[in-house]
Amino acid sequence: MNIRVRNYHIDSYGHVNHARYLEFLEEARWAFFDRHGLSSLLENVHLVVALIDIRYRRAAVDGNELRILSHIKELTARHLHLMQTIELVHSGKTAVEAGITLMPVKAASGRSIRFPDNLLTSLEAFTT
């Protein structure tokens, strides 16, 4: 997924604010699920962020185009570990690297659950 940096993404230091990158990563995660037909399997399941490990490598500024790459690194019955990279399109250099751990939660109760079998099977097809 690509995102163009707009002036409202910029903080007083003249680059994308660290919190904005979290929004970019979240948008890319949902795009990943949509693109692979997984969103429809989340009707009664919320994917909750349990852990984020994020490394800021280079600043992005107004007008930069960013490419966000997402892939599933590890999958268990109760956790999904997703790796995401934000690249500066003009240089191909990495701006951000992030590891995100998601866990399934039952929408009705808010309690942690195992991935439903159909969702787990579908996610396994994308595990590297």
The catalytic residue among 11, 34, 62, 117 is: 11
117 is catalytic: no
The long-range contacts involving 21-27, CB below 8 angstroms and separated by at least 24 positions, are: 21/54, 21/56, 21/86, 21/95, 21/96, 21/98, 22/52, 22/54, 24/66, 24/68, 24/86, 25/54, 25/68, 25/84, 25/86, 25/96, 25/98, 25/100, 27/1, 27/3, 27/68
- Residues forming the active site: 11
